[in-house]
DNA sequence: ACCTGAACACCGTTCAAGT
DNA sequence: ACCTGAACACCGTTCAAGT
């Protein structure tokens, strides 16, 4: 049976999960799948696009629920992203790259945009808040993964993550009265 | 005259500034300097370390002044980093990598840590605020550079950057009364 | 339609040997 | 002390040719 697009993304996620981004090469992937490197290029245009597909897959399990309380939903979403990406070596780099290439690459990104929009008093504030949260989430994960790589302690990481999230959300709900349960 | 450490870093910054990270290879650098690739390894242990030196050089021109008003100083510092890194292709990636490898790689990082410490009501808040600001700064620059690469508009970038900075600082000065002019 | 084989133009790093 | 030459073990991508 012929190689499928799905199989390639599966194998890519697997290599990333087990060995990190440095080992996630097109050649390595081909070896893992028992084909020649060139075969991959019949199914995938290039490595960058493949990494975006990997991001979609990794973020696909993050639950997107709505409670009517945007701040609480943002908090849950941010924690969900962290939980999904943290166990994957270099996961934050891959997700950041995909977010940069395509800000609609995952429903998770879109949902975050919607939620900050409901909480902010203006469109510019909403955009700034969305960016602040995304940068906090991906930056925190990146720092934590790098600390792990360098064998530095990460005991307070989860609490620090929450504290940073609080700071960002405090500012949002302070500058504007929450319009909360309106959607 | 023999090759010097300085010359190598200079050439590296130059290649980065003109061609970006993808073209900043040890072999390309050697070619540019008229030596064999192996020659570089007598002066520099590896590429990662060289990139940290590049970051030091890039951030060296960011002015570190103190006014007695930490929030204003943080704002100025953040804008200084943005001004220094934005004109350099992939500059945010290189700086983020260096920050991850060594959070004391530049006096700029250290100064930011000090300033958030003065504004926060606790050590954990200080650490969270430092991280939030750094992630905002590097994340914003990265987004802006990527948008430029993809020929997307970046007209509101400076304002969005300031707005995000305000959000982070508003939260800091709201949760705690500024102890401000105490250092 | 799907893949192989082979090439093109590269990488970072090491190290004996030269001067 | 400082560098060359040459190697080792790789990269991403393309594409004629095969089935």
Helix/strand/coil (H/E/C) assignment for every residue in B54-101:
HHHHHHCCCCCCCCCCHHHHHHHHHHHHHHHHCCCCCHHHHHHHHHHH
Spatial distance between the Cα atoms of B139 and A93, rounded to a whole number of angstroms = 12
**Whether the Cβ atoms of residue A9 and residue A53 lie closer than 8 Å to each other:** yes
CB contact under 8 A, B136 and A136: yes
Tell me the mean pLDDT in the region B95-100: 90
Task: Give the pLDDT band (50/70/90) at residue A2.
Answer: confident
Residue B150: pLDDT above 80?
A: no
* Residue nearest the C1' of C2 (CA based): A2
Share of chain A above pLDDT 70, in %: 95
The pair of three-digit structure tokens given for residue A158, joined into one six-digit string: 């989860």
- The spacing between the Cα labelled CA in A32 and the C1' in D13, in angstroms, equals 19
CB contact under 8 A, A167 and B172: yes
The pair of three-digit structure tokens given for residue A132, joined into one six-digit string: 């602040």
| Radius of gyration of chain B, Cα coordinates, nearest whole angstrom | 18
H or E element that contains B148? helix B123-149
Residue B177: pLDDT above 60?
A: no
CB contact under 8 A, A134 and B134: no
A21 touches strand C (CB under 7 A): no
Q: Does A177 touch chain B (CB under 8 A)?
A: no
Torsion of CA A27, A142, B91, B42, to 10 degrees: -70
Q: Which nucleotides of C are covered by protein (CB under 7 A)?
A: 1-7, 10-16
CB contact under 8 A, A163 and B138: no
The pair of three-digit structure tokens given for residue B59, joined into one six-digit string: 């951030």
Spatial distance between the Cα atoms of A110 and A112, rounded to a whole number of angstroms = 5
Interface test with B, best of A22, A90, A131, A141 (most B CBs within 10 A): A131
The pLDDT of residue A117 is: 94
The pair of three-digit structure tokens given for residue A83, joined into one six-digit string: 């939980």
Residue bearing the bigger pLDDT, A102 or A133: A133
Residues of B in contact with A156 (CB under 8 A): 124, 127
Q: How far is CA B149 from CA A7, A109, B89, B142, in A?
A: 31, 21, 9, 11
Residue A34: pLDDT above 60?
A: yes
* Residue nearest the C1' of D10 (CA based): A27
Q: Does B158 touch chain A (CB under 8 A)?
A: no
Spatial distance between the Cα atoms of A26 and A45, rounded to a whole number of angstroms = 12
Residue A179: pLDDT above 50?
A: no
| Ordered alpha helix ranges (H), chain A | 5-19, 26-33, 37-40, 47-59, 70-85, 91-101, 107-119, 123-149, 157-175
Q: Does A143 touch chain B (CB under 8 A)?
A: yes
Q: Which of A7, A85, A94 is nearest to A54 (CA)?
A: A94
- The spacing between the Cα labelled CA in B3 and the C1' in D4, in angstroms, equals 14
The pLDDT of residue A175 is: 56
Interface test with B, best of A21, A139, A144, A146 (most B CBs within 10 A): A139
**Whether the Cβ atoms of residue B84 and residue B58 lie closer than 8 Å to each other:** yes
Q: Which pTM does this prediction carry? A: 0.91
Spatial distance between the Cα atoms of B53 and B174, rounded to a whole number of angstroms = 37
Backbone angles phi, psi at B90, to 5 degrees: 60, 15
Spatial distance between the Cα atoms of A32 and A11, rounded to a whole number of angstroms = 8
Interface test with B, best of A51, A127, A129, A136 (most B CBs within 10 A): A136
Q: Among B4-8, B25-29, B127-131, which stretch is predicted with the lowest mean pLDDT? A: B127-131
């Amino acid at each position: 049976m012929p190689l499928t697009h799905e199989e390639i993304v599966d194998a890519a996620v697997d290599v990333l999960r087990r060995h990190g981004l440095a080992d996630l090469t097109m050649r390595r992937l081909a070896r893992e799948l028992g084909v020649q490197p060139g075969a991959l290029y019949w199914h995938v245009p290039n490595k960058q696009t493949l990494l975006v597909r990997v991001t979609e897959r990794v973020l696909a399990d993050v639950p997107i629920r709505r409670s009517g309380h945007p701040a609480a939903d943002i908090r849950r979403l941010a924690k969900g992203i962290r939980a999904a990406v943290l166990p994957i070596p270099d996961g934050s780099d891959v997700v950041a790259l995909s977010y940069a290439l395509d800000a609609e690459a995952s429903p998770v990104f879109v949902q975050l945009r919607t939620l900050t929009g409901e909480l902010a008093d203006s469109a510019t504030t909403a955009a700034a808040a969305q960016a602040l949260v995304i940068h906090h989430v991906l930056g925190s994960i990146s720092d934590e993964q790098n600390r792990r790589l360098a064998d530095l302690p990460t005991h307070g990481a989860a609490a620090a993550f929450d504290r940073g999230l609080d700071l960002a959300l405090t500012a949002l709900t302070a500058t504007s009265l929450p319009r909360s349960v309106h959607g």
